[in-house]
Every structure is written in C-alpha cells, then in structure tokens.
C-alpha cells in the first residue's frame, strides 16, 4: 500500500508500532471469532448442508478471497468499497471493478473509534473508523474508493472521517421518498456516481456492459430468492447459515456466489424431500429487524436465538446486512442507457425500507415489508434489535410495535453494544422471549 | 406431588418447596462467591424444614440470573415466566407483575393462566433496582432497612438524578452538603427509582391488577413512591422475595405432570 499523504482532518496520527500491535491483536481475535462462529453453526445443525463449506471459506476475511482480489488488482482491476446497500452494484460491475462492502462488524475496533468520535455514536460507525485506523479490514484497504451514502447521521459524518484515508464518493438520498423531485434527484446522484466510477476505473460504462451487469445481479437475486423461499416451510437451514450466505454476497465474486447458492438450494431441496430438518419443525420461528449485523463479531444475537434453551430459529430478517440485500431486482422495460439508469434509481430508492426515509405515510414501506414477511414466513415472534446510538431504528420501534400488536405478534426490543460482555444479560432476555413463544405455540 | 424452585439471584438464593400446590418450606442464602454450594445448602435446609427426602422431589427448576449454577436442578426456566406464574397463583386477578430485585427490575404482562404475554427489563443499569437503595443508604450513612421508614417522614422529595447509580450517589452527596433533610433525600431516592420502574411499566401498558414482587417489594419507601407514580393500587404478597422460586416450583409441577401423562 502506498502511503497516502492526505491531511488528516479528523483522525489522530497513530504511531506505526502501536497500529501494528493493535491490528495484530484484533486480527488474532477475529480469526478466533470467525472459526468459533462457524464451529457453533456446525454444532447447532448436525445436518448442516455440505454446500455451506464454501461460504465458511469465503467468510474468512484473511483468506482466499483477499488473495483473489489482490491478484485481480495486480492485473489492473479497481476495487470500489461501499457502506450502505444503496451503492449501485450494477454500475461498479459494469466498470469492470470489484464491489465490496466494508462496514465493520469488529467489536474491538469500536474502542479505537472512541478516540475520534464520542461513545454515544453508533458502534458500527466507531468500529469502522477503528478498523481503518489500524488497517484491519482487507477489503477496506484494497478499496480504491468508497461509496458512502448519507443515510443516517452516523454514515454522513463517517464519510468525512473516512476521507482522511480513502477517496470517498458520496451519494445523498432524498429523505422524503414519495415527493415529486425525489426520484429525479436520486437519478442525478446515480448518474454522478456513474461518472465518478468511470473516472476512478478509467473504464467507460457502456450500455452493453451495464446490461450484462444488471443481468448478473438479476441472476443473483433469483438464487437469493430461491433460498428465501426454502426458509418459508419447515426449517431446512438455520438462520445464521442463511445470513452468512446472504452476507458473503457483498464481498464474494457475485457470479460464483450465484452458482454456489443455486447448488446450495439444490441440496436443500433434497433435504426437504427427505424431511431432514435443521431443527424440530415446532421450533419457534423468529424474525429479526433493526440495526444491520455484520460478520464476524456481531453474530451475537442470531447465535443466542439458535443456541437458546428453548431454541429458536431465525427464519427471516429485515436487515440491510442480510435478507434485504438482494431481494429486489432491477426491473427493465427497454435496454437503453437511460432506461437502465432509471430502473437502477428506482430499485435502490423505492424498494428501500431504511428508516432514514419518510413519506406522507411515514416509513409505511417498512411496516408493510414486516407484515408480509411475518405472514409469508409464518413468524411467531419478532426481536427488534438496536445498537446504542442507532437513533433511526430506535425511534421507529413504537410504530412497529403498534403494528405488530394488531397482528398479535409478540415483539421484544433488545438494545446492545459492540461488546461481548452483555451476552449473559441478552441470553436471559432472548430465552424468556422464546419461552413465551413456546408457551403461546403450546396452548 | 412435590416440586422445588431455586431462584439463583445475584445477591440472594431463594428456595421454595411445594407440595400439592402448597408451600411447605422456604429457605434463603447469600449467593456469595460460591453460589452452587450456597444453593445446595439452601436446598438441603428447605428439605429438612419440610421433612422431605430429596428422592421424593419430582422436579427441581432453577431460575434467576445464576440459573446455570444449580447443577442439582432438572432444568431452568426464565425469571419473567416465573414472575407471571407466581403472580397469578398468588393473586388470580393479577395481569401485570413487577419484580424489583437487587440488580434488575422487570415487568411482565400475563394472561389468566399465568402465561407471560410480554415483558420489559430495565436496560443494563441498576438505577431502578435494589442496589441503588444500598448505594444511597451508604451515602446517607443510614442502614438500608431504615431508608424506607425514613422516607415516609418527608413531605416532599429533593431533586435527584436517577440515570445512574454512580451519578446518583454524587447527587446525594451534593444534597447532603446543601444540608437537605435526610428524609427528603431518602424519598428522592425512592421517587427516582419509582420513576424508572413506572416508565418501564408504561412501555408495557398498565393492566390491573398490578402485583409487586422481589426483595425491594419489602421496602415501604419504594412501595409508597411506586403507588404515587402509578396512581393505582399495587398488590404485594407475603414473602415477595420468594416469588421467583415459587413460580419455578409451580412450573416444575406443571412439567412433572406433563411428563406423567
């Protein structure tokens, strides 16, 4: 990595020796946590599909995928990182660049972020800053530029802090989704990002390339939805496994990921035929909504749910780090450049249920999404997960709770931090919630 | 049928032995550094009081934050579930159970069968729980058990910050330096706790009848403040600190019956 001579407006200089020590400690911990998570996922489901082995390997941040990207970079490819799922992946692919999501799921680096921003700030932001301070994330280090969408306050300022290190492409989504100008403004943002990606990569995004990229992502959505459909019946895959599959799509080669996911679905369909279930079919079915959860450390809640006594199974989520990722395809009428850009704008804006939006009816889209998922996936209870400082998700809770009360669906608000210390307390609450769901199912 | 419930609290372990729906023995012990040993001793003691042999106990269930540390139990059950079960057993009309213990406060909504329907727990801070009284009593240099009666002498409460035990303690020191009266400070402590607990209960919805259990339910000062805040009558059982253990014993009886069938 060439040393960057940017003036650091936010971040304190960290002596190289200290940085290295902190990076090594965090990396050692991370390797342990990744292995431990996978071990526990295997233990929870003795009939875990063999196809999961592929994702276990891709999940290793310091493994094969890092080497692969390094090799492609050596051949001249550029890497475009991104924080929010608003980044138009199709445009990155169409410029022959590699998209990678770079939010941090590391607990330890959030303490480093405390040196730059107050502890009241959301830990996803603090941890991402901390990871960059010690160059922990291979994908962040490999990024030639990072697309930062100004969704919540944390993300808005994160883009400024991160520009101390890496060129940042900002995208400003309109806050009111259904106003007359919103889609127009957003399309202008999409076009501007297209130009910036072209400049960084030196590759022109042609109609032909863009069409190919859209079709690639449509195939990914198809595989993704196939996996989703398999989670609607008796549990054939544990929620953590599905979550890992979904999340690896944000840093894996998406074409290969699609093939592997189709193969996983083939295997799962066989398991369904054999009536081989990942857990007893009467296990309470849980949906998680709220703050995104990132691999590897922030696997805390899904692990607690699926290892609890009584056990629960995560059948769906409403997280921008998992079930929301590839759900919506770009819908094309005509394959002209203008139409394709229109379709991309619509897909990334209108389909989003992010609480950074409001409209005439508030964030009604999110409520509808939840209600539909609860019905489709036969959900028994919802855990509303918020990390401290995640204001938008915290504030929408009351509305979600009211809507779910009407459906007689129990919902539990669980707030936590980027820390391992509160697992005991969380366990008590999660187990009481599952016990309640079990009692409801029994009677 | 004989069953037992063991409530592995952070400060105190409570044991209840139940015979055909009637409590035949209670015992408690300080959790200390060896909660497993303390629990075994408390269990033995309760068996002795009830004149019952261990082999005659059909099922033992553990609850409380240290529930995993009672290896002699046949299983565990959540504190919220035991609150609901015990609350409705003690008062059949109960629909909201508030449990204030040493380090945690929680509220549970339940139906007529004592099945919990919803619950809230104070968020990772002991300011609404018993430890708060202990810390404040220390700052005021009075015995913890005298705090309640002392507070009842006050007509008004001194202003106090209840967001945190540590800040609360420094607030109390400031009040002492300003020479505010001890009863008014004591009442402020309970009002502050009641504020936290009632806010929590309101998030759940106040469904009468409301029952208060847990060790802090024995504190007349807290009970007076909570009644004022909620503006409704609150039912308090005898031996409120044994509610968790009682609930566990009741659930154990249900499970044992289920197993017989």
Best mutation site among A304, A426, A435 for testing chain B: the one with the most B CBs within 10 Å?
A435
Rounded mean pLDDT, A254-265: 98
Is residue A301 domain-resident? yes
Contact A432/B76, CB-based, under 8 Å? Answer: no
Residue indicated by tokens 């934050």: B65
Rounded to 10 degrees, the C-alpha dihedral B55/B57/B62/B68 comes to 20
Answer yes or no: is pLDDT of B43 > 70.
Answer: yes
> Both B80 and B109 in a single domain?
no
Q: Is the ipTM of this complex over 0.90?
A: no
Chain B residues within 8 angstroms (CB to CB) of chain A: 65, 76-81, 113, 115-121, 123-124
Mean pLDDT of all residues belonging to chain A = 95
Chain A residues within 8 angstroms (CB to CB) of chain B: 309, 410, 412-413, 415, 422, 424-425, 428-429, 431-433, 435-436, 439-440, 443
Contact B117/A431, CB-based, under 8 Å? Answer: no
| Structure token pair of residue B256 | 């044992």
Contact A436/B117, CB-based, under 8 Å? Answer: yes
Rounded Cα distance, A85 and A352, in Å: 9
Question: What is the percent of chain B where pLDDT is above 90?
Answer: 74
- Chain B hits for A413, CB-CB cut-off 8 Å, are 120
CB pairs under 8 A between A and B: 40
DSSP chain B: -EEEEEEE-SSEEEEEEEETTEEEEEEEEE--S-HHHHHHHHHHHHHHHHT--GGG--EEEEESTTGGG-TTSSEE--HHHHHHHHHHHH-TT--EEEEE-SS-EEEEEE-TTS-EEEEEE--S-GGGSHHHHHHHHHHHTS-GGGHHHHHHT-SS------S-HHHHHHHHHHHHHTT--HHHHHHHHHHHHHHHHHHHHHHH---SSEEEESGGGG-HHHHHHHHHHH-S-EE--SSGGGHHHHHHHHHHHHHHHHHH-
Radius of gyration of chain B measured on its C-alpha atoms: 19
Rounded mean pLDDT, B196-206: 90
Task: Render pLDDT for B115-146 as a digit per residue (tens, 0 to 9).
Answer: 999 999 986 666 778 888 988 899 899 999 99
Quick count: other Cβ atoms within 10 Å of Cβ A419? 16
- Chain B hits for A430, CB-CB cut-off 8 Å, are none
Question: What is the percent of chain A where pLDDT is above 70?
Answer: 98
Q: Which of A238, A176, A223, A210 is nearest to A92 (CA)?
A: A210
Q: Which of A79, A80, A55 is nearest to A296 (CA)?
A: A55
Q: Which of A61, A138, A110 is nearest to A388 (CA)?
A: A110
> Both B115 and B170 in a single domain?
yes
> Both B198 and B260 in a single domain?
no
B207 alpha carbon, distance to own chain's centre = 19
- Chain B hits for A432, CB-CB cut-off 8 Å, are 78-81, 116, 119
3-class secondary-structure state, position A349:
helix
| Structure token pair of residue B59 | 């099922």
Alpha-carbon gap: A315 to the closest alpha carbon of chain B (Å): 21
Contact B78/A424, CB-based, under 8 Å? Answer: no
Q: Where are the beta strands (DSSP E) in A19-165?
A: 79-82, 98-101, 145-149
A297 alpha carbon, distance to own chain's centre = 13
What per-residue confidence (pLDDT) applies to B162?
A: 59
Rounded Cα distance, A170 and A189, in Å: 9
- Chain B hits for A440, CB-CB cut-off 8 Å, are 115
Q: Model confidence at A292, in pLDDT bands (50, 70, 90)? A: very high
What per-residue confidence (pLDDT) applies to B157?
A: 85
Determine the residue of chain B that is closest to A430 in CA distance.
B78
Answer yes or no: is pLDDT of A441 > 70.
Answer: no
Is residue A44 domain-resident? yes
CATH of the domain at B9: 3.30.420.40
| Structure token pair of residue A387 | 């990390």
- Number of separate domains in chain A: 1
Alpha-carbon gap: A436 to the closest alpha carbon of chain B (Å): 6
Is residue A7 domain-resident? no
Determine the residue of chain A that is closest to B78 in CA distance.
A432
Question: Which of A424, A425, A435 has its CB closest to that of B81?
Answer: A435
Rounded mean pLDDT, A60-84: 97
Enclosing domain of residue A27: 16-442
Q: Are B168 and B196 in contact (CB under 8 A)?
A: no
| Structure token pair of residue A316 | 């769906």
Contact B124/A431, CB-based, under 8 Å? Answer: no
Best mutation site among A394, A414, A432 for testing chain B: the one with the most B CBs within 10 Å?
A432
Rounded mean pLDDT, A358-367: 94
Rounded mean pLDDT, A71-100: 97
Contact B118/A309, CB-based, under 8 Å? Answer: no
Rounded Cα distance, A420 and B214, in Å: 28
| Among A3-7, A16-20, A378-382, A413-417, the least confident range | A3-7
Q: Which of A406, A442, A169, A414 is nearest to A304 (CA)?
A: A414
Question: Which of B76, B81, B121 has its CB closest to that of A429?
Answer: B121
- Number of separate domains in chain B: 2
> What is the maximal distance between C-alpha atoms in chain A?
66
Determine the residue of chain A that is closest to B104 in CA distance.
A425
| Among A399-413, A420-434, B22-36, B163-177, the least confident range | B163-177
Q: Model confidence at A1, in pLDDT bands (50, 70, 90)? A: very low
Contact B116/A429, CB-based, under 8 Å? Answer: no
Is residue A175 domain-resident? yes
> Both B117 and B226 in a single domain?
yes
Question: Which of B78, B81, B124 has its CB closest to that of A425?
Answer: B124
Answer yes or no: is pLDDT of A194 > 80.
Answer: yes
> Both B82 and B174 in a single domain?
no
Alpha-carbon gap: B116 to the closest alpha carbon of chain A (Å): 6
Determine the residue of chain B that is closest to A423 in CA distance.
B124
> Both B4 and B66 in a single domain?
yes
Contact A422/B124, CB-based, under 8 Å? Answer: yes
Question: Which of B76, B116, B121 has its CB closest to that of A436?
Answer: B116
Task: Render pLDDT for A127-162 as a digit per residue (tens, 0 to 9).
Answer: 999 999 999 999 999 999 999 999 999 999 999 999
Q: Model confidence at B161, in pLDDT bands (50, 70, 90)? A: low
Task: Render pLDDT for A299-320 as a digit per residue (tens, 0 to 9).
Answer: 999 999 999 999 999 999 999 9
Q: Are A114 and A126 in contact (CB under 8 A)?
A: yes
> Both B259 and B218 in a single domain?
no
Question: Which of A432, A439, A440 has its CB closest to that of B119?
Answer: A432
Phi, psi of A104 (to 5 degrees): -95, 135
3-class secondary-structure state, position B206:
coil
- Chain A hits for B116, CB-CB cut-off 8 Å, are 432, 435-436, 439
What per-residue confidence (pLDDT) applies to A439?
A: 83
Rounded Cα distance, B234 and B236, in Å: 6
- Chain A hits for B109, CB-CB cut-off 8 Å, are none
- Chain B hits for A310, CB-CB cut-off 8 Å, are none
Task: Render pLDDT for B2-25 as a digit per residue (tens, 0 to 9).
Answer: 999 999 998 999 999 999 999 999
Q: Which of A426, A387, A435 is nearest to A304 (CA)?
A: A426
| Among A188-192, A360-364, B144-148, B193-197, the least confident range | B193-197
Contact A432/B115, CB-based, under 8 Å? Answer: no
Q: Model confidence at A43, in pLDDT bands (50, 70, 90)? A: very high
> Both B193 and B203 in a single domain?
yes
Alpha-carbon gap: A121 to the closest alpha carbon of chain B (Å): 18
Give the side-chain half-sphere CA count within 13 A for A352.
29
Question: Which of B65, B78, B113 has its CB closest to that of A435?
Answer: B78
Q: Model confidence at B170, in pLDDT bands (50, 70, 90)? A: confident
DSSP state of A293: -
3-class secondary-structure state, position A322:
coil
| Among A172-176, A346-350, B122-126, the least confident range | B122-126
| Among A139-143, A227-231, B68-72, B128-132, the least confident range | B128-132
Enclosing domain of residue B199: 92-236
Which helix or strand (DSSP H or E) is residue B136 part of?
A: helix B130-140
Answer yes or no: is pLDDT of A443 > 60.
Answer: no
Radius of gyration of chain A measured on its C-alpha atoms: 21
């Amino acid at each position: 990595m060439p040393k960057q001579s940017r003036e650091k407006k936010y971040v304190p200089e960290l002596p190289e020796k200290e940085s290295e020590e902190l990076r090594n400690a965090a990396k050692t911990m991370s390797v342990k946590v990744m292995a431990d998570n996978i071990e526990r996922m295997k233990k929870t489901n003795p009939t875990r599909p063999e196809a999961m082995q592929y994702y276990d390997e891709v999940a290793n941040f310091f493994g094969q995928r890092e080497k692969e990207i390094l090799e492609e970079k050596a051949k001249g490819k550029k890497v475009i990182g991104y924080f929010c799922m608003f980044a138009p992946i199709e445009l990155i692919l169409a410029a022959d660049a590699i998209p990678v999501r770079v939010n941090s799921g590391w607990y330890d680096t959030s303490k480093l972020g405390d040196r730059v921003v107050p502890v009241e700030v959301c830990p996803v932001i603090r941890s991402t800053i901390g990871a960059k301070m010690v160059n922990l994330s291979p994908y962040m280090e490999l990024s030639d530029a990072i697309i930062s969408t100004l969704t919540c306050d944390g993300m808005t300022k994160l883009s400024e802090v991160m520009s101390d290190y890496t060129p940042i492409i900002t995208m400003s989504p309109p806050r009111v989704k259904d106003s007359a100008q919103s889609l127009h403004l957003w399309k202008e943002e999409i076009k501007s990002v297209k130009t910036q990606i072209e400049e960084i990569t030196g590759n022109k995004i042609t109609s032909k390339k863009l069409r190919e990229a859209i079709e690639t992502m449509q195939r990914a959505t198809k595989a993704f939805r196939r996996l989703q459909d398999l989670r609607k019946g008796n549990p054939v895959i544990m929620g953590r496994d599905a979550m890992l599959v979904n999340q690896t799509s944000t840093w894996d080669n998406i074409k290969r990921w699609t093939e592997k996911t189709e193969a996983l679905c083939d295997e799962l369909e066989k398991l369904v035929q054999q009536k081989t279930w990942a857990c007893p079919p009467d296990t309470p079915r849980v949906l998680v909504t709220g703050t995104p959860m990132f691999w590897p450390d922030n696997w805390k809640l899904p692990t607690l749910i699926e290892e609890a006594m009584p056990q629960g199974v995560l059948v769906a989520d409403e997280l921008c780090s998992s079930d929301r990722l590839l759900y919506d395809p770009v819908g094309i009428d005509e394959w002209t450049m203008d139409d394709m850009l229109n379709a991309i704008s619509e897909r990334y804006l209108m389909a989003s249920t992010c609480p950074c939006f409001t409209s005439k009816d508030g964030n009604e889209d999110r409520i509808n999404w939840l209600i539909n998922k609860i019905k489709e996936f036969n959900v028994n209870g919802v855990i509303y997960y918020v990390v401290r400082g995640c204001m938008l998700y915290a504030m929408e809770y009351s509305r979600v709770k009211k809507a779910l009360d009407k459906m007689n669906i129990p919902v539990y608000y669980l707030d936590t931090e980027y820390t391992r210390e509160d697992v005991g307390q969380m366990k008590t609450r999660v187990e009481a919630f599952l016990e309640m769901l079990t009692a409801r199912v029994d009677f | 049928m004989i069953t037992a419930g063991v409530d592995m609290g952070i400060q105190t372990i409570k044991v209840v032995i139940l015979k055909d729906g009637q409590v035949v023995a209670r015992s408690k012990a300080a959790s200390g550094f060896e909660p497993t040993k303390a629990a075994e001793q408390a269990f033995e003691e309760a068996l002795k009081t009830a004149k019952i042999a261990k082999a005659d106990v059909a099922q033992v269930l553990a609850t409380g934050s240290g529930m995993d540390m009672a290896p002699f139990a046949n299983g565990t059950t959540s504190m919220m579930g035991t609150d609901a079960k015990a609350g409705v057993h003690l008062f059949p009309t109960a629909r909201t159970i508030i449990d204030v213990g040493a380090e945690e406060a929680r509220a549970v909504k339940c139906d007529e069968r004592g099945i919990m329907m919803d619950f809230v727990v104070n968020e990772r801070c002991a300011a609404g729980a018993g430890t708060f009284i202990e810390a404040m009593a220390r700052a005021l240099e009075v015995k913890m058990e005298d705090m309640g009666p002392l507070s009842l002498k006050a007509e008004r409460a001194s202003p106090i910050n209840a967001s945190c035990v540590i800040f609360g303690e420094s607030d109390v020191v400031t009040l002492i330096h300003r020479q505010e009266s001890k009863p008014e400070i004591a009442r402020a402590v309970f009002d502050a706790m009641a504020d936290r607990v009632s806010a929590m209960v309101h998030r759940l919805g106040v469904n009468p009848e409301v029952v208060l259990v847990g060790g802090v339910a024995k504190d007349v000062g807290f009970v007076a403040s909570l009644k004022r805040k909620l503006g409704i009558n609150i039912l308090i059982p005898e031996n409120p600190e044994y509610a968790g253990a009682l609930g566990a014993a009741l659930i154990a009886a249900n499970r044992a019956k289920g197993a017989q069938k």
